Amino acid sequence: MVMAHAKPTAHETLPPPLRLLVLLALLAASYLALTRIPAAAPLSALLIGRQPLPPPLSAPPAPLLSSKSSSCAGFYAGAGPARAVAASVEEFGAVGDGVTSNTAAFRRAVADLEERARGVGGGGGGARLEVPPGRWLTGSFNLTSRFTLFLHRGAVILGSQDPEEWPLIAPLPSYGRGRERLGPRHISLIHGEGLNDVVVTGNNGTIDGQGGMWWELWWNRTLNHTRGHLVELVNSSNILISNITLRNSPFWTVHPVYCSNVVMKDLTILAPLNAPNTDGIDPDSSSEVCIEDCYIESGDDLVAIKSGWDQYGISVGKPSTNIVIQRVSGTTPTCSGVGFGSEMSGGISNVLVRDLHVWSSAQAVRLKTDIGRGGYITNITIVNVTMEKVKVPIRFSRGADDHSDDNYDRTALPRISNVLISDIVGVDLQRAPMLEAVAGAVYEGICFRNVSLRGIRRQDRWHCESVYGEAHGVFPAPCEEFRSNGSSSWCGFS
């Protein structure tokens, strides 16, 4: 039932990346089996659509090459956007004129709907808050469990321009401080902590953080506390964010941290290409995360997988694991399509990135760590990446000696292994891949297969330092370190 073409008992005969898929499907399936919430999507809507991996060197069975589109949306197992009670934010006195502050109305609406839902059949059906067409200015407000925020077409939630409307909250334990400034940090515009079954969706309504004021504070060096995210969910599970446009976040746009079962799909995420740190989506110390069918353009990574910073991340020890990122496209002139780290101290594993399309960007894929990070990045499969006008197609970089404080452990080296990078096509590039391990570390089991990188400057060669693995069908010729002196079972070559 899990996979028509690969019974769980067939694990051992599958190449490791296939095992990852089976594992992900099994995890999702067992999650659904354990939860009391009826599954919104049939199991067939989990990861079991088309076979995503490049053909192994010997021809695979025909069904594995089926090209049906697939979805990981089954990671969300909540009740969906429909709820037992619903109301419009207007009923709570909100005014959609773009000028009136509606912070109190949004907060009242969430509290009141939570109460009303409790009165209906024990509250299990939850509540839905509708935002009709209009421009709804607001400061930060919190969501609640079994809750849907629904933005109709033409609805725009606008972030307040008063910093006090983004109150300070405690730093995350895995960062030990605000990411940018010591001490507490501004809360996100839309926030939730300790929740279960939260949906933010609509007919492509918009959440606009109006982050310009915050970027200026950053540029002017007058920022007192770390900027807020546009949407942040902390320690929550069963999250679905879909069919909306997110614009102009002050800082990272969507930030699930210490969460599980998070689906982010059909999103448009926009920020000016020079807006500082406006990452699109940052799964952080989170598991069972699905990101699919998103268009993102911003001033930082389109997607960045993280898991805490130096000694704080090491001591919290919460990895980001079982993550699928598919059909993401976009541009970021100074950063990467998909980034890993640089904060990765809790570990990152079991990540599948496929059908990524990146243009006019600094990198398509970047693994970024630093001295003192500890942690690991392992069991990563990156397949079918298309890129145009990218400066460095694939980069492993050492980071910028960027630490939470001076008490990090200089001997804590990041470990990177089992990374398969396959079916990569790039044109109009500038540089060959640049792969550098952090001083003192050795990265092994890195494999490249079917890679065609065109337009690289004459004279430029692959640059590798303490990074080893295998390469098959790669142009231009990789560095000596990839001319196979060992073999990683992850790559399925042996």
Which active-site residues does the annotation give?
300
Question: Looking at 87, 104, 120, 213, which residue binds ligand NAG (CB under 6 A)?
Answer: 213
Indicate the residue among 337 and 400 with the shorter CB distance to ligand NAG. 337
Question: Does residue number 224 form part of the binding site for ligand NAG (CB under 6 A)?
Answer: yes
Q: How far apart are CA 314 and CA 411, in angstroms?
A: 13
Torsion of CA 97, 103, 105, 107, to 10 degrees: 150
Of the listed pieces 40-48, 93-101, 199-207, 405-413, which binds ligand NAG according to CB under 6 A?
199-207
Number of residues that bind ligand NAG (CB under 6 A): 42
Of the listed pieces 85-93, 113-121, 237-245, 305-313, which binds ligand NAG according to CB under 6 A?
237-245
Of the listed pieces 32-40, 217-225, 283-291, 310-318, which binds ligand NAG according to CB under 6 A?
217-225
Nearest residue to ligand NAG on Cβ basis? 486
Question: Looking at 11, 107, 177, 391, which residue binds ligand NAG (CB under 6 A)?
Answer: 107
Residues 381-440 that bind ligand NAG (CB under 6 A): 384, 386, 423, 425
Residues 22-41 that bind ligand NAG (CB under 6 A): none
Indicate the residue among 214 and 408 with the shorter CB distance to ligand NAG. 214
Decide if 222 contacts 181 (C-beta within 8 A).
no
Question: Does residue number 379 form part of the binding site for ligand NAG (CB under 6 A)?
Answer: yes
Indicate the residue among 318 and 431 with the shorter CB distance to ligand NAG. 318
Of the listed pieces 39-47, 117-125, 214-222, 308-316, which binds ligand NAG according to CB under 6 A?
214-222
Of the listed pieces 92-100, 348-356, 428-436, 453-461, which binds ligand NAG according to CB under 6 A?
348-356
Question: Looking at 201, 285, 336, 363, which residue binds ligand NAG (CB under 6 A)?
Answer: 201
Question: Does residue number 13 form part of the binding site for ligand NAG (CB under 6 A)?
Answer: no
**422: β partners:** 383, 449
Question: Looking at 194, 439, 440, 477, which residue binds ligand NAG (CB under 6 A)?
Answer: 194
Indicate the residue among 261 and 384 with the shorter CB distance to ligand NAG. 384
Which H, E and C letters describe the chain, residue by residue? CCCCCCCHHHHHHCCHHHHHHHHHHHHHHHHHHHCCCCCCCCHHHCCCCCCCCCCCCCCCCHHHHCCCCCCCHHHCCCCCCCCCEEEEHHHHCCCCECCCCCHHHHHHHHHHHHHHHHCCHHHCCCEEEEECCEEEEECCEECCCCEEEEECCCEEEEECCCHHHCCEECCCCCCCCCCCCCCCEECCCEEEECCEEEEEEECCEEEECCCHHHHHHHHCCCCCCECCCCEEEECCEEEEEEEEEEECCCCCCEEEECCEEEEEEEEEEECCCCCCCCCCECCECCEEEEEEEEEEECCCCCEEEECCCHHHHHHHCCCEEEEEEEEEEEECCCCEEEEEECCCCCCEEEEEEEEEEEEEEEEEEEEECCCCCCCEEEEEEEEEEEEEEEEEEEEEECCCCCCCCCCCCCCCCCEEEEEEEEEEEEECCCCCCEEECCCCCCEEEEEEEEEEECCCCCCCCCEEECEEEEEEEEECCCCHHHECCCCCHHHCCC
Indicate the residue among 252 and 359 with the shorter CB distance to ligand NAG. 359
Question: Does residue number 220 form part of the binding site for ligand NAG (CB under 6 A)?
Answer: yes
Question: Does residue number 54 form part of the binding site for ligand NAG (CB under 6 A)?
Answer: yes
Question: Does residue number 161 form part of the binding site for ligand NAG (CB under 6 A)?
Answer: no
Question: What value does the CA radius of gyration of the chain take, rounded to a whole number of Å?
Answer: 22
Residues 128-157 that bind ligand NAG (CB under 6 A): 142
Question: Does residue number 51 form part of the binding site for ligand NAG (CB under 6 A)?
Answer: no
Q: Which has the closest alpha carbon to 260: 30, 459, 13, 20?
A: 30
Residues 465-494 that bind ligand NAG (CB under 6 A): 468, 485-486
Q: How far apart are CA 454 and CA 260, in angstroms?
A: 39
Decide if 151 contacts 145 (C-beta within 8 A).
no
Question: Does residue number 96 form part of the binding site for ligand NAG (CB under 6 A)?
Answer: no
Question: Looking at 58, 222, 411, 459, which residue binds ligand NAG (CB under 6 A)?
Answer: 222
Indicate the residue among 49 and 402 with the shorter CB distance to ligand NAG. 49
| Nearest-approach distance from CB 235 to ligand NAG, in angstroms | 4
φ and ψ at 310, to 5 degrees? 45, -140
| Nearest-approach distance from CB 459 to ligand NAG, in angstroms | 25
| Nearest-approach distance from CB 427 to ligand NAG, in angstroms | 12
Question: Does residue number 210 form part of the binding site for ligand NAG (CB under 6 A)?
Answer: no
| Nearest-approach distance from CB 204 to ligand NAG, in angstroms | 4
Question: Does residue number 83 form part of the binding site for ligand NAG (CB under 6 A)?
Answer: no
Region for 29 from its dihedrals, namely left if φ exceeds 0, alpha if ψ lies in -120 to 50, beta otherwise: alpha
Site of interaction with ligand NAG (CB under 6 A): 16, 19, 54-55, 81, 107, 142, 163, 169, 191, 193-194, 201, 203-204, 213, 216-217, 220, 222, 224, 235, 242-243, 245, 266, 268, 349-350, 355, 357, 378-379, 384, 386, 423, 425, 444, 450, 468, 485-486
